Chains A and B, each alone.
Chain A
Amino acid sequence: MLVLTRRAGESVMIGDDVVITVLEARGDVIRLGIQAPRDVQVHREEVYRELQEANRAAASPTDDAVDAVARMLKKPDGQP
């Protein structure tokens, strides 16, 4: 891991087009500003991990599971 020391207002560049700026450091809380291209999504790590796990759990359900969901979501007869 590369370790750098930065002050508030200073930045780090990752590659050509990702800029991370330290906006404020107060106690053990540091506020970062991140500039990245549109095709680079930026997430808090714990949120990303949770989403990754949720997507993996949702991926490729069995045909039986799909049938069960389809039945559950079916509208009662007579409704539009």
Chain B
Amino acid sequence: MTTRTMSRPIEATMTDPSLGLPTITMATPMPGFPAHREFVLVRLNDDGLLYALTSIDNPELRFLVAPPEPFFPEYAPEIDEAVFAALNTKDPDRVLLLAVITAGQDETTANLLAPIVVDRDSMRAQQVVLTGSGYPVRAIMNRAF
């Protein structure tokens, strides 16, 4: 597995077909971005904790995402069966959670209310609103590890 680092421009990484980057298809578009269905997930650091979810339709659109578990150990959302159906999920253990990160001047936050759920087999994804969960849209990220 090739390690990709910050020094490598995302666009250059994306245009290298030999890397075989995973293409993720949104079963429903992310709120606010109805025109973007296809994304690639690009690793941004060696630890594997930070990724860029970059639109194939417009590479200038990207979201920072990270698995929430290392930062929010208590985070254990319940995913509705309807989500698994929309993602063609056969094994719920094969879904990956990614939190959308907002990089701010003073603080960096993670959206725990609406994680992106990715089925690793179908490579379909959906930003899922955990209605009634009480999880915040802007949870301040701390290093919990």
**A interface residues with partner B (beta carbon < 8 Å):** 38-41, 43-44, 47-48, 50-62, 65-70, 72-75, 79
Task: Point out the residue from A38, A51, A57, A66 that lies within 8 Å of B82, measured CB to CB.
Answer: A38
Interchain Cβ contacts within 8 Å, total number:
101
Query: Which B residues lie within 8 Å of A73 (CB)?
Result: 45, 47, 49-50, 66, 71, 141, 143
**B interface residues with partner A (beta carbon < 8 Å):** 6, 27-28, 30-33, 44-45, 47, 49-50, 52, 60-64, 66, 71, 82, 85-86, 100-104, 108, 111, 113-114, 126-127, 129, 131, 137-138, 141, 143, 145
Query: Which B residues lie within 8 Å of A61 (CB)?
Result: 62, 64, 102-103
Query: Which B residues lie within 8 Å of A41 (CB)?
Result: 28, 126
Nearest chain B residue, comparing its CB with the CB of A37: B86
**SS of B interface (majority):** loop
Query: Which B residues lie within 8 Å of A75 (CB)?
Result: 47, 49, 145
Pairwise interchain contact B44-A70, C-beta atoms closer than 8 A: yes
Between-chain CB contacts (< 8 Å), 19 pairs: A39-B28, A44-B131, A48-B31, A51-B111, A51-B127, A51-B129, A58-B63, A60-B63, A61-B62, A66-B6, A66-B64, A69-B108, A70-B6, A70-B44, A72-B108, A73-B141, A73-B143, A74-B45, A74-B47
